[in-house]
Amino acid sequence: MKANCVFCKIIDRQLPAKVEFEDEHVIVFHCKDPSAPVHLLAVPKKHIPTLMKLEEADLPVMSHIHKIAQMMYRQLKLEGMSMNVNCEEKGGQDVFHVHYHIKGWT
């Protein structure tokens, strides 16, 4: 955990979030500022600042996030979905802990 990371604080329950899914590797919660009818953030529990800091050992967790996105799609009965990851400040990343935006429409 990184002490000043908002997502690490959510993972450690130091900050509240509406959690949709959680297991030992990933937490998925609702975005506090949604830009779609359903807007979730899928966050690995390991603190990884950006996609550019991913290591080979992190790739199974990233794949796992995609499986979770499929599960959320079915569970929330979405009719359309997009997923994106912003990388670095100029790429729109504002929290420096890798996270996927899962946006869905019903």
Catalytic sites, residue numbers: 99
CB 34 within 8 A of CB 22: no
Distance CA 40, CA 90 (A): 22
27: Cβ contacts below 8 Å, ≥ 6 apart = 10, 11, 17, 19, 21, 42, 43, 45
Instruction: Tell me 35's DSSP state.
Output: S
